[in-house]
Amino acid sequence: MAMTYNLFLLPGDGIGPEVIEQTRRVLGWYAAKRNFAFTAEEDLVGGASYEAHGTPATDAMMKKALAADAVLFGAVGGPQWDKLPFGKKPEQGLLRLRGDLKLFANLRPALCFEALKEASTLKPEIVSGLDILIVRELTGGVYFGLPKETTTLPDGQKRAVDTQVYTTSEIERIARVAFELARLRSNRVASADKSNVMVTGVLWREVVHRVHDAEFPDVVLTDVLADNCAMQLVRNPKQFDVIVTDNLFGDVLSDEAAQLTGSIGMLPSASLGAKDAKGRQPALYEPIHGSAPDIAGKGLANPIATILSFAMCLRYSLGRGEDAALLEKAVERVLAEGYRTGDIMQPGMTKLGTSAMTDAILKALDALA
């Protein structure tokens, strides 16, 4: 009997609903053409959930996310919610998902499609053939460390504290993910930290090396200070294969890496938890571009990051590597054919909106299947 995948869709805010709608169409194609049986319940998250329920993540939604084989996430946030108290902000919905599902490993590939090497703000020879993978620790560090608070001092001024904290086991498990993935690629890991100023950085470096020496001596490991890593990414990004780093540095470096590829509208991500005894692994897939409120609802958003996130879901959660590769090839093909959304538009190319870009991808899937 064929397996029925239990997918859970969280479109969220801004362009999230538009791009997740395109994922639904791709799901439909796989159901019709590739013997892909699934359920895809949908719920609110972020600002949309706040408007309906007064909270960015309800317990009922969290329960469904925990039970799903994979969560397909759009984006959260928007200027209309900027003034909300911290705990009600749309972003807290995503952070609760990451925290409660224990999605500690965030994989952010930055791949420059050959057809797009001219679309980057960097010189084509710097980004041509670029293929790096940022492995970001996602449930620790300053995002989740306590105390996290604002207090008022006796003299009336305010004092805000975030806490950067890492334990040995948190560093070990993310290091293992990075080394294991490096073995499937070019076998090189650069570990980015601030061990020159932060004690968490000192521990990070110590533990990454211990895991390396004991379990992955075949992988080439280099250390790089996070600030230097940011500079090296624009100077000579192809020196990197896998970059492993903490939650905050990973947030910053992955946006930077995204821009190397031409547009942040291109980049998918996977957030994975630990496998349980039965081999089940919590997982959430999301484009890294965010909610882009300025273009929301206009049919202009690039659906490729979200569609490629579904490709990552096929590969990492559903064990359908061939189907994942097919979808990636279809995207490559439409780009090679000259189809572009506004964010990656170049002279002489054909400009498409969100849904027309998906039409082109579905057509390419038909041609390739």
Pick between residue 22 and residue 271 the one whose CB is nearest to ligand IPM: 271
Pick between residue 43 and residue 251 the one whose CB is nearest to ligand IPM: 251
Strands 131-137 and 105-111: antiparallel
137 makes contact with Mg ion (CB under 5 A): no
- 220 CB neighbour count, 10 Å cutoff: 14
Pick between residue 95 and residue 356 the one whose CB is nearest to ligand IPM: 95
Q: Which of these ranges, 15-23, 88-96, 260-268, 305-313, lies near ligand IPM under the rule CB under 6 A?
A: 88-96
Q: Which of these ranges, 62-70, 89-97, 299-307, 327-335, lies near ligand IPM under the rule CB under 6 A?
A: 89-97
Q: If you count them, how many residues does the chain have?
A: 369
| Residue 94 site contact among Mg ion, ligand IPM, none (CB < 5 to 8 Å, cut-off depends on kind) | ligand IPM
Q: Which of these ranges, 12-20, 91-99, 118-126, 196-204, lies near ligand IPM under the rule CB under 6 A?
A: 91-99
According to CB under 6 A, which one of 137, 170, 251, 323 is a site residue for ligand IPM? Answer: 251
Task: Give Cα separations from 265 to 15, 170, 211, 354 (angstroms).
Answer: 11, 30, 35, 11
- 285 CB neighbour count, 10 Å cutoff: 26
According to CB under 6 A, which one of 171, 260, 288, 308 is a site residue for ligand IPM? Answer: 288
DSSP state, 317? T
According to CB under 6 A, which one of 91, 162, 172, 256 is a site residue for ligand IPM? Answer: 91
| Residue 108, beta-bridge partner list | 134
Burial (CB count within 10 angstroms: exposed 0-12, middle 13-18, buried 19+), residue 60: exposed
According to CB under 6 A, which one of 70, 71, 94, 112 is a site residue for ligand IPM? Answer: 94
Return the structure tokens found at 268: 């998918």
Radius of gyration from C-alpha coordinates of the chain: 20
Specify the residue for token string 């061990």. 195
Residues near ligand IPM, by CB under 6 A? 77, 91, 94-95, 251, 288
